[in-house]
Structure 1
């Protein structure tokens, strides 16, 4: 994929990660790693990285701000990372109205149609990462249908798929005691590097 122009990365706190405190609005998570990679490797390029992550967001929250944060900004590429909170809220706030896989897929498909119908942007879909650093955690079991949906939609909409969940699960299989998160969900520097690495590899391939 030949990246250029305005690349909007939208998602939840994993994408947001410090952007409001950053004068550049990039943050200190995986978006920062991607931004700096382009600055170093393509210093003459016209690539503009825009971070539109908002902590706590689920897929319905993306829908509510899709016009403002995506369509009105006329992106050349849209990268979407969502799904963690759609599952996590089922575990930590069961009293909320929940977003189960069927609704998740319907809203996600609607957002992708909006991009296709109103922009010329390319699409990058990122699998949700992990919920707890355990292969057998309840969160990771519940996350599987959401990961499958992202894979299916990436194929259907000819989007680049970033196999983030697969990369994290592969790492967990190594039984390394070096952690990738601060609390089982939010990424530390190693986790952010892994996400950025998977993103760049998918894009460059």
Structure 2
């Protein structure tokens, strides 16, 4: 079978499903926060938050209009939004992206009021963590995995206090072993993944295991196919992320 057919099979779900299963919790009941109602209901307001992987070159500034292609960026958040808006055209979904390149957890907290709480999302998706280790490794940040865990807990407590009914999607931080990602990232990076899973178990309705998904993807094609620098997804990588995100959230 040619690579193109294999990749099509991957995108249609066979290998993605295997990756999600390998990662464990992909449904709401597999976290400690059961979902009593479907996450994607009529008029649901969805907010994507995170760093450059979520930002993906989105347009910043201007009015907070939902479903604006330029404001959703060019990455997995836009692709997931396009998927949902196409699948559920009558649901009146309101989708926003407030990812900012370079952010670590404490920087999310600094802008959380305006970029999260004031938007009053029904579903909040967070992907954060790669800068918390990357900037530590390059000497630009002195935070540790304990800093990450503590800051993330505090952010979730603040969110739940302000928005008690919000449904939370925690995405697994990931890297691929290529480009900027070398042996010095490990095993430290695994601690950040584990801390994110702890947060998901305590606060989230959905856990999206991106690292497990990409671990399956590299069995099909080299790591640079999915993220050339090991951190920022290519178009192929972003498409897989969007597929995995929608699959996990739709199952909740």
Aligned position for 2:149:
105
Kept in 1, the 8 Å contact 2:77–2:97? The answer is: yes
1:32 to 75, 78, 89: 78
Measured after TM superposition, the shift of residue 194 of structure 1 is 1.5
Bigger radius of gyration: 2
Q: Structure 1 stretches of 5 or more lacking a match?
A: none
Matches of residues 9-158 of structure 1 in structure 2 within 5 Å? 9-20=48-59, 24-92=70-138, 94=139, 96-119=140-163, 120-133=165-178, 137-158=183-204
Q: Structure 2 stretches of 5 or more lacking a match?
A: 1-37, 61-67
Quickly say closer, same or farther: Cα 1:138–1:69, change in 2 above 3 A: same
TM-score of the two chains, using structure 2 as the length reference: 0.74
Number of aligned residue pairs = 202
Q: Relative contact order (C-alpha < 8 Å, sep 6+): which is higher?
A: 2
Q: Distance in 1 between matches of 2:182 and 2:134?
A: 15
CA deviations on 1:13-33 (whole Å, 9 max, x unpaired) are 000002128764111100111
Q: Distance in 1 between matches of 2:92 and 2:244?
A: 22
Measured after TM superposition, the shift of residue 58 of structure 1 is 0.7
Measured after TM superposition, the shift of residue 62 of structure 1 is 0.5
Quickly say closer, same or farther: Cα 1:118–1:82, change in 2 above 3 A: same
- Is residue 3 of structure 1 aligned with residue 48 of structure 2? no
Q: Distance in 2 between matches of 1:116 and 1:168?
A: 30
Kept in 2, the 8 Å contact 1:127–1:147? The answer is: yes
Quickly say closer, same or farther: Cα 1:51–1:140, change in 2 above 3 A: farther
TM-score of the two chains, using structure 1 as the length reference: 0.91
Measured after TM superposition, the shift of residue 159 of structure 1 is 2.6
- Is residue 184 of structure 1 aligned with residue 230 of structure 2? yes
